[in-house]
Structure 1
Amino acid sequence: MNKAVQGAIGIGLLCMSAAPAMAAKDISKLPVVTQELVAPPFLPKHDQVAKGGPKVVKVRMVTEEKLVQIAPDGTKMWALTFNGTVPGPLIVVHQDDYVELTLVNPPTSTMSHNVDFHASTGALGAAGLTLVAPGEDVVVRFKATKPGVFVYHCAPGGTMIPFHVISGMNGAIMVLPRDGLKDHKGKSVRYDRAYYIGEQDLYLPKGPDGKYKSYSQPAEGMADMLEVAAKLIPTHVVFNGAVGALTGDNALKANVGEKVLFIHSQANRDSRPHLIGGHGDLVWQGGSFNDTPITNQETWFVPGGAAVAALYEFKQPGLYVYLSHNLNEAVLLGAAAHMNVEGKWDNDLMEQLKKPNEHSTPAMDH
């Protein structure tokens, strides 16, 4: 980011409180609910179709700077997080609900943090109203006017913006239509399960010995990390914070006949999700639920700084791989997840007619 852009963002953050304000609508009579956020890939409890009118949905996020392992070889990094996870938790509300966020930066932090909600309107996505130093907290409320899935991320200004984002400080919010999702024919569609997959590109510096460097606190490695990031070549591309985070015992699960909604975000780079052995029955391009979903996609596109939703009804049991179909990133850098599906096999859809090295029996002449 050049100095002019850094300066503009910095001035914007400083001047938000000086802007004249119109009186807010009286929402004091609206129902108030508290949403308990959960760690990805799971979603908080929610209704797919809204019950009643708009609500005030209270959520609480605590910033946490923590040393985490991001690869099986023991490689670690200082993660900057919301609620201790990479990505941060998925928030779920309905269109025209009000999101009331309490953002807490504990005194143990070493940096200031804030949050830019791509789903919100004004004040740099609330980044201009939420900047909190260690030991501070802030409360902000915004109206969720656009239905869809959207990224949120930390954006403290200047070079701190890319540093915080590539250190894991991002997540997503899903704003459902009040009457629920619709398919390409305008008919209501429901999901049996939903999973949130946050893709993260990492840029870890190496020392002269070829090993990844270690640091005593996040800021100590900032210059080295930004130097690597400036070359735009990630050292790791991972789902949900680490290589293999969604494999083995942590693999996603479903049953044959279930419709599964995948919410996929990438706060910094483009991505191309693909489900090996399945499809995107319905894909909401750009994450907008106002738009008609496209159908029967083999691979879908997530622009950097966005989230996209895709729904698939599983037809066959077995192991599926959900990955970025930049196969270099999936296989070599870590952008892959596993999904175990249980149920009865359908030979009409696929059948093995000859096993490897098995000689077929010649037909007899009559």
Structure 2
Amino acid sequence: MTKFINPGLKKTSRRNVLRGSVLAGAAALTGGAAIAARRGPQMTKANETSAKLYKAAAEVKVKSTASVADLSGYTRVKQELVAPPFAPEHEQVAKGGPKIVEITMDTTERLMVVDEDTGAEVWALTYNGSVPGPLIIVHEGDMVELTLRNPEDSQMEHNIDFHASTGALGGGGLTHVFPGEETVLRWKATKPGCFTYHCAPGGAMIPYHVTHGMNGAVMVLPRDGLKDKDGNALKYDKIAYIGEQDYYLPKDEDGEFKTYELAGDDYADSLDAMRTLTPTHSVFNGAVGALTGENALKFKVGETVLMIHNQANRDSRPHLIGGHGNFVWETSFSDAPMTGLETWFVRGGTAMASMYTFEQPGVYAYVNHNLIEAALLGATAHFVVEGDWNNDLMEQVVAPRPFAT
């Protein structure tokens, strides 16, 4: 029996894991002792808990040493990530053998307006500056090779946990980066489906980072593409990538949303708000109205759209008002899709996919069908569809008019 920090961890980087997650003490998990001290004993206590958890994980005894990954037969490609609600360029059916898909993400901390009407804002913790983080698309059997960079002006330490990956806390145990540091993680996409990724520094910092926007989705397509229950190929024309974000924004004694000078300054207040389990906002793609009005997604009658929905923290029930889920994969692409659903289910901490071919023009509202969250908290998007109306599907027989009593 031999003790290892992690059998997949390079010797040259063990120093950083020990420094960040085990030996540096509580404050290291927020990016420095000065930050934890400035933000009070509540943050320090949470970080002490985090340090103990990671120390325990690091001291687990394993029986085998790390083997060298066999990368023969893999072709290296770069994937240029794009901001939501859009998807990176990709093949629906894989061409050739497995690939090493190289991507880069920065853990950017930025002040974002959540609701212009109320002045609500948040120091969002993000991947590549967006809430949600960018959509990553690979095929089963591919390798994802991520360069994760934490800018020097960050206030906190960050990492990433891929629900699609295997081992080391989803990669979270191997990707802790302080401000000014970068790391490279490679993992194999062995399970087809849509999966959440999120930051997971440890302890109370996990929900704090996730509810400040630090989450996104990976889609792992089968190598031969999507299929129905009979094995027939299913193709989509476009992707609509929806990240549903629950925020817990602190308020002052007058009920106004509070503002903060730096990322992390709201930590203690946010923990109090989070403990209510009642979000102040439940929004799509980071803010109220992010996907409505001028920001609405645009499609055409006859186009097939794959809607990818991510919710890293709470259950959700998406519904396309005026449309349906022709094919819905709530769990895995390995399983046959459900068909003809009116509303589908997103388990908290998952991403899923639904496919629909538009048959009528008009404005479709895509909502969380907890309608309180849709109408009052912001969980609404609009799809504007162009084309010719089909009276065989729907017709206004008589326009509204007075009637005799």
Cα deviation 1:198-239 (Å, max 9, x = unaligned): 000000010012110011112210110111111100000000
Counterpart Cα distance in 2 of 1:111 and 1:246: 29
Task: Decide which of 342, 347, 352 is 2:391's aligned counterpart.
Answer: 347
Deviates further, 72-81 or 45-54: 72-81
Is 2:289 the counterpart of 1:244?
Answer: yes
Residue 105 of structure 2 is matched in structure 1 by: 61
Q: CA deviation at 1:25?
A: 3.0
Seen in structure 2, the aligned counterparts of structure 1 residues 267 and 9 have a Cα distance that, compared at 3 Å, is farther
Q: Does 1:277 align with 2:277?
A: no
CA shift, 1:163, in A, is: 0.3
Unaligned runs of 5+ residues in structure 1 are 361-366
> 1:197, 1:289 → 2: CA distance?
18
DSSP 3-state at the match of 1:223: helix
Which of 363, 376, 381 in structure 2 is aligned with 1:332? 376
Give the 3-state SS of the residue equivalent to 2:347 in structure 1: coil
Q: Tell me if 1:356 matches 2:404.
A: no
Indicate whether 1:320 and 2:389 are aligned: no
Report matched runs for 1:173-252 at 5 Å. Answer: 173-252=218-297
Distance in 2 between the 1:326 and 1:69 partners? Answer: 24
Normalized against structure 2, the TM-score is what?
0.85
Which whole-Å deviations, capped at 9, do the CAs of 1:120-178 have from their partners, x for residues lacking one? 00000000000001110000100000000000000001111010000000000000000
- Contact 1:30–1:54, Cα closer than 8 Å, also in 2: yes
Quote the residue 2:178 is aligned against: 133
Match of 1:172 in 2: 217
Deviations 1:320-344 (A, max 9, x none): 0000000000000000000000111
Match of 2:198 in 1: 153
Give 1:357's aligned amino acid. R
Whole-Å separation in 2 of the counterparts to 1:173 and 1:270 = 18
Number of equivalences: 359
Distance of 2:56 and 2:358 partners within structure 1: 47
In structure 2, distance between residues paired with 1:225 and 1:199: 19
Structure 1 position 277, deviation (Å):
0.1
How many Å apart are 1:21 and its aligned residue? 3.4
Partner of 1:143: 188
Q: What's the % identity of the aligned pairs?
A: 59
1:50 to 76, 85, 94: 94
What amino acid is the match of 1:250?
N
Question: What SS class does the counterpart of residue 312 from structure 1 fall into?
Answer: strand
| 1:48/1:111 CA distance change after superposition, 3 Å | same
**Paired residue for 1:39?**
83
Amino acid at match of 2:92: Q
Aligned residue in 2 for 1:364? none
Q: Which 4+ stretches in 1 moved above 4 angstroms?
A: 1-8, 12-20
CA contact (8 A) 1:13 1:127 kept: no
Q: Which amino acid aligns with 2:279?
A: P
Paired residues of 1:17 and 1:129 also in contact (CA < 8 A): no
In structure 1, give the amino acid aligned to 2:164. Answer: A
Q: In structure 2, what residue type is equivalent to 1:44?
A: P
Q: 1:131 to 1:171 in 2, by over 3 A?
A: same
Measured in 2, the distance between the counterparts of 1:137 and 1:289 equals 33
Q: How does 1:293-308 map to 2 (within 5 A)?
A: 293-308=337-352
TM-score by length of 1: 0.94
Query: What is aligned with 2:135?
Result: 90
Distance 1:12 1:126 in 2: 16
Shifted more, 218-227 versus 131-140: the winner is 218-227
**2:300 matches 1:255:** yes
Q: Is the 8 A contact 1:153 1:165 kept in 2?
A: yes
For each residue in 1:181-206, what CA deviation from the matched residue of structure 2 results, as whole angstroms up to 9, or x when unmatched?
Answer: 00132210000111110000000010
Classify the secondary structure of the residue corresponding to 1:82: coil
CA apart distance, 1:26 = 2.0
Q: 1:17 to 1:96 in 2, by over 3 A?
A: farther
2:109 partner letter: E
**Cα distance change, pair 53–18 in 1 and its aligned pair in 2 (3 A):** same
Corresponding position of 2:312: 267
**Which residue of the partner structure matches residue 69 of structure 2?**
25
**CA distance change for structure 1 residues 153 and 12 in 2, over 3 Å: closer, same or farther?**
farther
Aligned AA (2:176): L
Shift of 1:8: 6.2
Q: Which amino acid aligns with 2:266?
A: G
Q: Which moved more, 1:346-355 or 1:16-25?
A: 16-25
